[in-house]
Chain A
Amino acid sequence: MSYNADSRGYYGEFGGAFIPEMLYPNCEELRQNYVQVMQEDFFKKEFQQLLKDYVGRPTPLYFAERLSNKYNTKIYLKREDLCHTGAHKVNNTIGQILMAKRLGKNRIIAETGAGQHGVATATVCALMGLECVVYMGEIDIERQAPNVARMKMLGAEVRPAKSGSRTLKDATNEAIRDWINNPVDTHYIIGSVVGPHPYPDMVARFQSVISEEIKWQLKEKEGKENPDYVVACVGGGSNAAGAYYHFLDNPKVGIIAVEAAGKGIDSGESAATSALGKVGIIHGSKTLLMQTTDGQITEPYSISAGLDYPGVGPMHAHLFKSGRGEFISITDVDAMKAGLELSKLEGIIPAIESSHAFAILETRKFESDDVVVINLSGRGDKDLNTYIDYFKL
C-alpha cells in the first residue's frame, strides 16, 4: 500500500479536489506545475539555500537525556522550534513563495488560526517583496494580538473573517473566496497538508525536509537511519507529514499521531478528528472531519489554537483508516503538564501544540532501547500568555 498521494491527489479513499469550478484553473495550474518545478535544479538550489541561511536548517536532532531517563527509553527531539519564526510552518511558506514567484504571481493570500502560519507567510512575503493578505477569524484576532502585530510589522494586511464561527475554518473559507475573486495574479499559501489537490502533497513535500534530516542525523548518532517511532502532533497535519514522510513506506518505523482532545473526547469541546470525525468534504478535500449528522461542519476546541481545526489532512485520514498510524488524543490538562515538564527537564519551552506530542510519554510505554523521535514543531513564546494564565505564573 502506498501512503503518498496518487496522481489525482488521493491517499486511499481520501483527498482529491472537491472545488467549485471557479477554483479549477487556479488548482489546475498548480497541479500541472508543482512536481516539475520542485524538481528543477534552480528551484531546489534556491529552496535549500534559503532553508539553510534564512530558516537556520538543518535543525538539530537533540538527544533528550533527562527526559529519556525519566521515561526509560531513548528520546530524540527534532528541533523545529529553532526555525526562524519559531515553528516548522516556515519550511512550507519558503517553498510556496518560491513556487508563487516561479508561476508569476505577485499577490499572496493565506489563512491563519493562531497566527503562526500567518507570520510565516508575512515573513516570506517581506523577504520577497510581495503583497500579502492574511485572513484571520475575528475571534482569533482578539486572542492572538501579538501575532497580529508581528504580521503588521512585516507589512501584511490582516483581514478579519467575520462569517460563521469566526475562527480558522472561516478564515480558510475567506481565503478561498479571495482566490475565487482573484484567479490570475494571486497565489494562496495554505498552511497545512489540507485543502484540494495538489496542496496536501505539495505541502508534505516541502515539509519532508524534516524527516530527510532526521535520517542522516540519526545515522550519525545511532548508526541507523530509522527510528522505532516518530511522534508528532496533528492539527491539519503538516509537521507530522514532514516528520513521517521518508518513513511512511517502512513498516518497521512506528508512526504516532497526537491529536488534541481538548476538554475530553466526549466533552463536546474537542479537536480529536480521528476519534470524532466522519468521512466528508472540507475545504475541497475528502477526509475525516467533525460534523453534525446532517453534514454541517462543527467547531472544534483545543487550548492550542494550532490544533483547533475540524478536519485533518487526507494523508492522515488514510494513515488512520489503514491502521498505519497509531492515533492518540491528549487533553488540554495533560498537554499543559507535559509542556511544563519539558521546560523543567530540558530547558525547552514548547509550543502548546507540540506539548501534546510529549504528553503521550505518560501513558504510551516504549522499550528501553527504542529510539523515539518526537517532532518539536514549535516554541512556546507565542503561548506564554496561555501558560501564564494556566499556571498562574
Chain B
Amino acid sequence: MTNRISQKLQEDKKLLSIYFTAGYPSLNDTVSVIEGLEKNGVDMIEIGLPFSDPLADGPTIQESSTKALKNGMTTEVLFNQLKDIRKTVSIPLIIMGYFNPMLQYGVEAFCQKCQEIGIDGLIIPDLPVDVYNEEYKSIFEKHGLVNVFLITPQTSDERIRFIDSVSNGFIYMVSSASVTGAKSGFGDEQTQYFDRIAAMELKNPQIVGFGISNKETFIAATEKAKGAIIGSAFIKHLTAFGADKFDTFVNNIR
C-alpha cells in the first residue's frame, strides 16, 4: 500500500509528529494549525477529534477537548474544515479520536469521508485490536486507511507480535503506564522498554508518544524508535501563544 504514512516512514530521519485538538483554541483554527505545523517542518499530524469523555487523556487534552466541543466542533464540522486540506498540505494526516463519535457517524461513512479528504490513518485508542480485526479491518483497508495501535510497557511480547502482524503503518509506543500529559522525562523503566521493543525487530516502525515535551525527551525517545509524538506540550503552547506562532516551539525540539 502506498500511503503518505508509509512513504514518510521510509525517509531517513527521525520523525516529529504533533497532536492537537481540532477546533482549539478557536473553532476555525484547525486548518491554520495544520498548515503552520507543516511550514515549520513537522513530519506528521494527529488531528484530535474531541470527545466528551476522553478516558486515556490527562487534564490538558481533556480541557482542550471540552473547549473545542463548546466552540462547536463536531465530526461534520471537522470534515468540512478539512475538505480542501490536500490543496495546501502534503504531509501525512491522521485523525485521532475515541470510537463512539465514529460509531455514531457510521464507521464506513467515516472511513469513506477520510479517504475523500485525504486522511491517511486513524488512531482510536478504545477500539481494541481484536474487534478491529474481526469487524472493521476490511472497511479501513478498502478506504486506504492505516490503523495505528498502541502498546505500553505492560504489553506482553506475544501481544506486541500480534499487534505488529495486524498493523500496516507504525506502532504507537506509549512511553509509560499513564494517561497523556501525566509524566515528563524518562527513567530506567523507559530505557529498558525502548531496548526491549527495539530488540524485537518488529515489521512496523515505532513512534513513541506520551511524556515528550522538549528536545531532551524527543532525542531520548527517538534513539531507538523512528519518531515521537508531542501532544499535551503543544496544546499548552497553543493555549499560551495562540494558533499562529509555531517556529520557536518546533525549533526548540529539533
Contact = CB atoms under 8 A, between A and B. Distances in A.
Interface size class of chain A, counting residues whose CB lies under 8 Å from the partner chain: 35 or more
A56 interface: no
Contacts of B26: none
A181 B55 CA distance: 12
Contacts of B36: none
A170 B63 CA distance: 13
B179 A180 contact: yes
B127 A18 contact: yes
Contacts of B69: 296
A16 B128 CA distance: 10
A70 B149 CA distance: 60
A177 interface: yes
B111 interface: no
Contacts of B178: 22, 180-181
B177 A296 contact: no
Interface in A251-288: 278-284
Q: From A16, A17, A20, A184, name the one whose CB has the most chain B CB atoms within 10 angstroms.
A: A20
Interface in B125-165: 125-129, 131, 149-152, 154-156, 159
Contacts of A25: 152, 154-156
A280 B100 contact: yes
A22 B56 contact: yes
Nearest to B182: A181
A280 B82 CA distance: 26
A3 to B, nearest CB: 22
Contacts of A20: 55-56, 125-126, 150
Contacts of B62: 163-164
A21 B155 contact: yes
Contacts of B101: 294-296
Given A25-B155, A176-B55, A180-B177, A19 B104 contact: no
Nearest to B152: A22
B149 A21 contact: yes
Q: From B76, B125, B128, B129, name the one whose CB has the most chain A CB atoms within 10 angstroms.
A: B128
A219 B50 CA distance: 54
Interface string B88-129: 000000000011111111000000000000000000011111
B103 A19 contact: no
B103 A281 contact: yes
Interface in B161-198: 174, 177-179, 182
A19 B63 CA distance: 21
Q: From A24, A280, A283, A297, name the one whose CB has the most chain B CB atoms within 10 angstroms.
A: A24
Q: From B99, B104, B182, name the one whose CB has the most chain A CB atoms within 10 angstroms.
A: B104
A296 B105 CA distance: 11
Contacts of B76: 294
Given A22-B152, A183-B177, A284-B126, A173 B159 contact: no
A295 B126 contact: no
Contact of A169 (B53, B56, B66, B149): B53
A211 to B, nearest CB: 32
B218 to A, nearest CB: 22
Contacts of A295: 51, 75, 100-105
A169 B66 CA distance: 15
Contacts of A24: 128, 154-155, 159
B58 interface: yes
Contacts of B155: 21, 24-25
B251 interface: no
A291 interface: yes
A293 interface: yes
Contacts of B66: 163-164
Interface in B57-73: 58-59, 62-63, 66, 69
Contacts of A164: 52-53, 62, 66
A163 B62 CA distance: 7
Given A21-B174, A22-B56, A295-B75, A281 B100 contact: yes
A20 B149 CA distance: 9
B100 A21 contact: no
B74 interface: yes
A180 B174 CA distance: 12
A17 B98 CA distance: 14
Contacts of B51: 295-296
Contacts of A22: 56, 150, 152, 154, 174, 177-179
What 9 A-B pairs are tightest by C-beta distance, nearest first?
A295-B104, A295-B101, A20-B125, A21-B150, A296-B52, A20-B56, A25-B154, A294-B74, A295-B100
Given A20-B55, A20-B56, A177-B179, 8 more contacts: A18-B131, A25-B156, A181-B182, A281-B99, A283-B53, A291-B100, A295-B75, A295-B101
8 contacts: A18-B127, A21-B174, A169-B53, A180-B179, A278-B104, A281-B98, A294-B104, A297-B100
